[in-house]
Amino acid sequence: MKRYYVMGLFSNFEEAFSTISEIRQHAIPGVTVDDVTLKSPIEHPEIEEILGDRGSPVPKFSLFGAIFGAIFGFLFLASAQANFLTQPQGGKAIITLPSNIVLSYEMLILFGVLSTVIGFMINARLMTKRHPLYSEKVSLDQVGVMLELDEKNVDSLKELFKKHKVLEIREEVSQ
């Protein structure tokens, strides 16, 4: 079954948001706000009120990375220091907590940062091919509203876009 991707480019957020509001109110049967992708040059501060709270698991990656870093850091240092058992320590502790806390703290941050970046790349779907409907105008000053929908809804969507003063409509068909 053919799927259609349709994107309307708007001159500002207001027009784009009113289009999305109408979609939310089921202006087009079978199309919901979850099908909408908003493309914009900046992140609008009130975007969650329009699209709904879609959440982000990136902080969980940060937490996992930080905990892993602290534990791994300490165990790594302690295992390296345990190697000193074969060497005279002159009465000093083999596993020294004060210095290990400093270094484990650095490892906590390093792994926390690395894990956060990995989490971002996975969840934001970076390093994937750009969508064929990507418009350079979105990185300039226009706001794009893109939907994936069936053929029967394409015309209604275009009408909706035109009602809200769309500047340009782009379309792509996938098998």
Partner 1 sequence: MQTKDINENIAWAKINEDVLRSMENPRMGYWVALAACVAMIMCAVLAEIYQYQVGMGPSGLNWPHMWDLYIATFVFWIGMSHSGTLLSAILHIIQADWRKPIYRFAEAMTLFSLMTAGLFPIIHLGRVWNMYWVLPYVSDRGIWPNFRSPLVWDAFAITTYMTSSALFLFIGMIPDLAICRDNARGWRQKLYTVLSLGWQGDDRQWRHFRRIYLMMACFLIPLAVSVHSIVSADFAMSIMPGWHVTTFPPYFVAGALYSGCAAIITLFILLRYFFRFDEYMTIPIMEKTCKLTFAIAMVWTYLNLIEFAATWYGHDPVAKELLIQKFIGPHAPFFWTMLFCGSVLPFTLAFEKLRRHMPTMFVVSLFLNLGMWLERWMIVTPTLSFSHQPFAWDIMWPSMVQWAIVFGSFGWFGMLFLIFVKVFPSVSMYEVKEMVFHRRHYHSDELESKFHRRAGDRQSDADPSREGA
Residues at the contact surface with partner 1, assessed by CB under 8 A: 37-43, 45, 47, 51, 54, 56, 58-59, 62, 66, 76-77, 80-81, 83-84, 86, 92, 96, 99-100, 102-103, 105-107, 109-110, 112-114, 116-117, 119-121, 123-131, 134, 136, 138-141, 146
Largest Cα span, the chain? 84
Question: Of the two residues 38 and 160, which places its CB atom closer to partner 1 in the complex?
Answer: 38
Nearest distance in Å: CB 173, partner 1: 19
Question: Of the two residues 60 and 162, which places its CB atom closer to partner 1 in the complex?
Answer: 60
Is the separation of the CB atoms in 28 and 37 below 8 Å? no
Question: Of the two residues 121 and 169, which places its CB atom closer to partner 1 in the complex?
Answer: 121
Nearest distance in Å: CB 159, partner 1: 23
Structure tokens of 117?
């970046």
Rg of the chain in Å (alpha carbons): 26
Task: For residue 119, give every residue at least 6 positions away whose Cβ sits within 8 Å of its Cβ, in sequence order, or none.
Answer: 57, 58, 60, 61, 62, 65
C-alpha to C-alpha distance for 22 and 32, rounded to whole angstroms: 10
Question: Of the two residues 1 and 129, which places its CB atom closer to partner 1 in the complex?
Answer: 129
